[in-house]
Structure 1
């Protein structure tokens, strides 16, 4: 049998090896994250140089770990603080050279039952990159608010969808709110970039003839319309929550975050203001399944079989037809 000194020696060696493995894991993960952050945030002229420095620093810390673990841990701490200070210095802004479709964020003012929205988008889209821009001021009577719709737009994987919320009024007016990335001119969406402060958030308010037709006709996305079951009080609360969000983003810009601050998670946060009992669910993250979640909780206006609801919800492209767009997409 081993004596106590042998047991103690083996235990010490195990702790050293475990500590070394943990240190190497921390360095590799930290270096990988730093390189990705530099790729999206470092000035282009310095990007490759800084990424090379990150690799050299990581390799040096791993080399030091096998000889002076305590110093290596101290180096990890210093490097982590330096990267953290740099990362915290990257702040969202509202004064970049924005792409035309997100050039403005909607804001609003409520006076009694009158809602005034500023910077409502009403573009005429002839193609995805061919359009006539128009930004307008609109006024709505909150007493006329009588419906809320969910739009789900799928472009690739059925598990991921862009979600929009529309509000209808008794006089036939409609307005759709869309939480989107605020791209600069020449930028393209990147799911990975959404983890690294690549985009700010934008709240767009628009006519259905703009924001829904763009997706169905110009982009060829599969867009579905799901009327929601809400009380007048919940509809009003939800609408005013969007107005408050737009006002806040116009004053205090925020970053888009792929998991925690995207079109669906923010809708969920706003919906909880109007309906506090809504539970969190994995289908909020995999937004293509959001209609399934709403159907399960009795929040779709149509309570029939889900497969049939989904089939009837798909909006057919209108291909430039002259009849009012909102009426056409709701025609039986």
Structure 2
């Protein structure tokens, strides 16, 4: 009998959710995605010290000896996620997702500049746009930036997505894919209600299922990539989703579990469903976001969390610059 991971790969594109290159080699996903927390964690692993140091030394060379340690760290910070992305693309055949600075989540122009810088770094390394997804937070400002980027041929992955209003706005903007955060939705409902949820009744699973069939019913090209899972039950309930990005621990569990995995999300059923279309503009988006306590809470929490990870990473890099200066 086949393991659950192999069966899942027959329905869904499996993406590795990690900055750990060794894990990506082990599970052979089609794509890989990272976020600021994962990059910060990977940057502290001894086996990846050379990637960090190479970025810092390149920044020092570019800025010259007159630059402060903090200036060198800031310059290296902008290239570190791309450095990991380039290493990942030596392994995966598809795409890597690299995230725009979360502190720009409500800044359309800032997001555009950061995204263009990310893709320019990949292009300079000989990596074409079709192998990169720029991750942008699913704020109204981020979605508007992504709409412009897609027209420029820069493909976007809209992250920190918790509500149907965000998903519809992304589809209307013609972004390449979205990443609804299944496990974080579950976390919120467990805390809010004091209840536990399993299987198809998991509110994160329900949210992705609703978005999936909405997209397929109305023929949107934007793909759905479930993310941020808490257990393999959430993953198996979404078998058939366009993509699923899964952490190494859960990939291991799927790979070592045998059984029959049925198709759960079937795009061929969408056309016959009775689904009302919701016209989306900023006023509607804001009203739906305000009404959805979970989405409002988790979006801000996610932005704050990723922003803190970036602050911590900048401090780590500044410390390492000082160590390298002493070594030299």
TM category (shorter chain) comes to: under 0.3
Q: TM-score, normalised by structure 1?
A: 0.24
Relative contact order: is structure 1 or structure 2 higher (C-alpha 8 Å, sep ≥ 6)? 2
Q: TM-score, normalised by structure 2?
A: 0.25
Structure exhibiting the larger radius of gyration computed from Cα positions: 1
